Chains A and B, each alone.
Chain A
């Protein structure tokens, strides 16, 4: 099955910027990244994942254990995998920011809100999200099972 997964890598002496986009699925060919001290991955343009993509991801990130990996703008489907699949989020990874889905029972509106480390959550797992309102002014609820969705924060190094 062909996919539209793309990966862009920009490197300098001790930093590697990786931009991921498309569907993390069956046909991914992750590039080999020569060891750099820090790798920053922008996940904002990732669209979806399937079980083959999960396996490919785990295989790839296991080869990056020599580096510190910072994940930015992680979409909800990726955050769900953090808590559900062993090896998806490795010990050398730090989640710098991730999206949290919100839902309004009244209007059925949805929003994805970016949580940033040091602002909406801390290293020790404390979460202090913003109050989010729908177009009618109703307070929206986090649209995830919070004990599962945020569980990776307690495991963070």
Chain B
């Protein structure tokens, strides 16, 4: 069954004719009932119940792109729209995600109080100012402890874009081995765009680089590590780690969006619930969107 047939109440043809037409070709599977589906999952959306995520990790590994959306997602429609755009029209989401979000939040009637920030950085020395600017986009009643935890997500996404993403024309990583205390500038012509958009209920963080160097195999191995190990990760001393940064992000978000087109761009997006306190931020079921080319 395709997306618009499966959720006719969400994608009413008269209300969203263009989306209806565009998304009409995207198959939607339900877990676990249709896990035996033999088609490629890379262009499908998998809708899951809350309890099924740990078992869900296995089928992800063999796929190049995958979208896992919870039935209970607080912004279920947004999750489906983002998945659909990442599958069929990824440049729309990549090029102007803040506008998309603005429209969506307005649709949810929470757009009046929406805060939007856009930053472009070209060196490590500019990153702390972006971290400091986060408070300005959060609702004033966001608790200090939760603000710190949200800052961790932003910090990880920016650090990853600065240190792990940059590659040269031979695909050699430029700064991956550098001490994280070292300051450097990105190669000429490259920058990192950070966009933050918040409504009273959610914060979306989007970090885009212009390298497109994400290692799909490595990412999937780390996901496996995170969701299959019962013990907490013990990072190696020194550089590298056991997917610790990825886990720190996943623990704190409701949705994680990762999309990469080799040698063009990568964007990492995080949707974080804001108005329910820190406990619910950590406990909220996760949605995961991977659009990875190899």
Q: Which A positions have Cβ atoms within 8 angstroms of B?
A: 1-4, 25-29, 47-52, 54-55, 58-59, 62, 75-77, 80, 83-87, 99, 101, 103, 105, 108-110, 112, 141-145, 148
Specify which of B127, B145, B233 is in contact with A76 (CB 8 Å cutoff). Answer: B145
Q: Is B21 an interface residue (CB 8 A)?
A: no
Within 150-175 of B, Cβ neighbours of A (below 8 Å) are at 151-152, 155-156, 159, 162
On whether the beta carbons of A86 and B145 are closer than 8 Å, the reply is: no
What are 14 A-to-B residue pairs whose CB atoms are below 8 Å?
A1-B127, A4-B128, A25-B155, A48-B148, A50-B245, A51-B235, A55-B244, A76-B149, A84-B232, A84-B233, A110-B144, A141-B277, A144-B278, A144-B282
On whether the beta carbons of B277 and A103 are closer than 8 Å, the reply is: yes
Given the complex of chains A and B, what is the CA–CA distance between A86 and B277 in angstroms?
26
On whether the beta carbons of B241 and A1 are closer than 8 Å, the reply is: no
Given the complex of chains A and B, what is the CA–CA distance between A31 and B236 in angstroms?
20
User: How close is B209's CB to chain A, nearest CB, in angstroms?
Assistant: 15
On whether the beta carbons of B278 and A50 are closer than 8 Å, the reply is: no
Residues of the A chain whose Cβ atoms lie less than 8 Å from the Cβ of B247: 84
Residues of the B chain whose Cβ atoms lie less than 8 Å from the Cβ of A55: 235-238, 241, 244
On whether the beta carbons of B181 and A54 are closer than 8 Å, the reply is: no
On whether the beta carbons of B145 and A112 are closer than 8 Å, the reply is: yes
Given the complex of chains A and B, what is the CA–CA distance between A54 and B282 in angstroms?
19
Residues of the B chain whose Cβ atoms lie less than 8 Å from the Cβ of A28: 181
On whether the beta carbons of B143 and A101 are closer than 8 Å, the reply is: yes
User: How close is A113's CB to chain B, nearest CB, in angstroms?
Assistant: 11
Given the complex of chains A and B, what is the CA–CA distance between A103 and B232 in angstroms?
27
Total interface residues in chain B, CB < 8 Å = 42
Residues of the A chain whose Cβ atoms lie less than 8 Å from the Cβ of B283: 145
Given the complex of chains A and B, what is the CA–CA distance between A93 and B143 in angstroms?
29
A51-B145 contact, Cβ under 8 Å, with A59-B237, A77-B152, A83-B232: no
Specify which of B127, B128, B232 is in contact with A85 (CB 8 Å cutoff). Answer: B232
Given the complex of chains A and B, what is the CA–CA distance between A145 and B182 in angstroms?
36
Residues of the A chain whose Cβ atoms lie less than 8 Å from the Cβ of B155: 25, 48, 50
Given the complex of chains A and B, what is the CA–CA distance between A2 and B124 in angstroms?
8
On whether the beta carbons of A27 and B148 are closer than 8 Å, the reply is: no
User: How close is A28's CB to chain B, nearest CB, in angstroms?
Assistant: 7
On whether the beta carbons of B180 and A76 are closer than 8 Å, the reply is: no
Residues of the B chain whose Cβ atoms lie less than 8 Å from the Cβ of A25: 155, 180
On whether the beta carbons of A3 and B128 are closer than 8 Å, the reply is: yes
Specify which of B128, B148, B152, B162 is in contact with A75 (CB 8 Å cutoff). Answer: B148
On whether the beta carbons of B146 and A110 are closer than 8 Å, the reply is: yes
Q: Is B39 an interface residue (CB 8 A)?
A: no
Closest 3 CB pairs between A and B?
A: A27-B181, A110-B143, A26-B180
On whether the beta carbons of A59 and B233 are closer than 8 Å, the reply is: no
Specify which of A4, A26, A87 is in contact with B234 (CB 8 Å cutoff). Answer: A87
